[in-house]
Chain A
Amino acid sequence: MSEIVLHSPLEAAHLALGARLIPFGGWAMPVQYSSILTEHAAVRETAGVFDISHMGQVFVTGADHIAWLDTVLTNNLSKLAPGQGQYTIMLNESGGVIDDLIAYRLSENETLLIVNASMIAEDVSWMEKHLPPGITIRNESVAWAGLAIQGPDSAAIFAKVFPSESLPPRNGIAKLADGSIACRTGYTGEDGYEFFCPADLGIAFFEKFIAAGATPCGLGARDTLRLEMCFPLNGNDLSPARSPIEAGLGFFCDLEKPHFIGRETLLSQKSNGPALKLTAIELTEKGPPPRPHYPVLSADGETLGELSSGVLSPTLGIGIAMAYLPAAFSKPGTALLIDVRGRRFQAVTVKKPFLKKPK
């Protein structure tokens, strides 16, 4: 695991709640408070609150900043109005993923990027390397505390904490009267929002959301929730050696744009079909929880790759995982084997996501 260098502004509150802290992306963050299974169920059935203070807030400003960001990010920011956001990806020259992030247009002159904790420095230095005059980048990651409130009750909880404010629509961003920020996104597949406030107010808001009915949830539940939805985790499912086309994220890459870094690789992979595809895999027999790096084999016993993510799905009660597999083995319904400590368990590829929620 990575070395711990940073502490969340909410750490004292986590410890008071009996949380276990683990290193994640260079931060000490709660992995769970009481039980991953209980926290997972809270998000699916009521609402949970996660500390996401480790995530990065990077502000990009300048008259022409949108046109420039559209050359370093895959999605198309020019299609958004102020107040709207989109999931997007930063690529290296060969089309590999540096980071996946959400970009929100705050105004004509300013965009906020919410980036992964472990990649803040790398994202900023990559952008600075390509930065034209007239555009500025401000990394305010340390100044902000972040909370993700997720689950069917999350909107009702917002109304209790902020009786005179309203939530933005899906993928939208709203600045609240007190200067905090609410973004209608998440990483769980449930309705919810990510809330950012000055670091020294983090504990007070954390406690307000809990008092309004949200269950404190850690990174353990965050991982099981996101994997049920097949949301990729950078460092596990995304890497500088894999493109968003291989990761199944082509929807978030606007190849109609005349230029962005990594575009040529994506164009060629899209027209030829990617050799590897990030594939959803379910265990079809009772077995141990699948975990990252377990070997994946064809039904004939040929080694095809290894799991990039894997958990026992608390909602479905079966092992679920993802792996980059040769395209021929990625079609839903393909029988596979997962090797767990030398024992092989039956599995099958399925259509993403694992959890099919009624609309």
Chain B
Amino acid sequence: MSASEIPADLLFQSSHEWARIDGETATVGISDHAQSELTDVVYVELPQLGKTVDAGDPTAVVESVKAASDIYAPVSGEVIEVNPAVEADPSLVNTDPYGAGWIFKLKVTKPDQLPTLLTPQAYGELIG
């Protein structure tokens, strides 16, 4: 199996979500390694807009043919945007996990949690 891609500008958590931090906004998806382990994603259950979540809360669900997997919020915040494209075409999570396959965006309410997330290097060691 080929090595998974791990972009240098993202933060990760050990449950394989990534977060792209842009000011107060965290865009969240699942890692290339996670999509490759899940294989064919056939359904994404998006969170309600406006929902507030704590770091570690199950916030979305990604389903492959064989299993349903919870997607946990990497940080606390309010769901301010969801990606309708992955609802319409769940395979985007497989084909472009760090781009068109993003799942939801949070308005970060506790920026002090960010340093607890894994750096790309640390995540690479975790899955290596």
Contacts and interface: CB of A to CB of B under 8 A. Distances in A.
Interface of A: 18, 31-32, 35-37, 220, 224, 287-289, 291, 311-312, 314, 341
A35 B64 CA distance: 10
Contact of B61 (A18, A311, A312, A341): A341
B65 A311 contact: yes
Given A18-B1, A220-B66, A37 B40 contact: yes
Interface string B34-45: 000001101101
Contacts of B64: 36
B1 A32 contact: no
Contacts of A311: 65
Nearest to B94: A35
Contacts of A314: 65
B39 A288 contact: no
B42 A312 contact: yes
B43 A288 contact: yes
Contact of B40 (A36, A288, A341): A36
Interface residues of B, number: 12
Contacts of B65: 36-37, 220, 224, 289, 311-312, 314
Given A37-B40, A341-B61, A288 B66 contact: no
Interface of B: 1, 39-40, 42-43, 45, 61, 63-66, 68
B66 A287 contact: no
Given A18-B1, A288-B61, A288-B63, A32 B68 contact: no
The list of the 10 closest CB pairs from A to B, nearest first, reads A36-B65, A288-B43, A37-B40, A312-B42, A35-B40, A288-B63, A220-B66, A35-B39, A289-B63, A220-B65
Contacts of A288: 43, 45, 61, 63, 68
A36 B66 contact: yes
Nearest to B70: A341
Given A289-B43, A291-B68, 13 more contacts: A18-B1, A31-B66, A32-B66, A36-B39, A36-B64, A220-B65, A224-B65, A288-B43, A288-B63, A289-B65, A312-B43, A312-B65, A314-B65
Contacts of A291: 68
A289 B39 contact: no
A257 B66 CA distance: 41
B39 A32 contact: yes
Given A36-B65, A220-B66, A341-B61, A287 B43 contact: yes
Contacts of B42: 37, 289, 312
Nearest to A291: B68
A36 B42 CA distance: 11
18 contacts: A31-B66, A32-B39, A35-B39, A35-B40, A36-B39, A36-B40, A37-B65, A220-B65, A287-B43, A288-B43, A288-B61, A288-B68, A289-B42, A289-B63, A291-B68, A314-B65, A341-B45, A341-B61
A285 to B, nearest CB: 12
A346 to B, nearest CB: 16
Nearest to A288: B43
A199 B63 CA distance: 36
Nearest to A341: B61
Contacts of A312: 42-43, 65
Contacts of A341: 45, 61
Nearest to A34: B39
B22 to A, nearest CB: 30
Nearest to A319: B43
Contacts of B61: 288, 341
A31 B65 CA distance: 11
A341 B39 CA distance: 22
Question: Which residue, B39, B66, B68, has most C-beta atoms of chain A within 10 A?
Answer: B66
A217 to B, nearest CB: 13
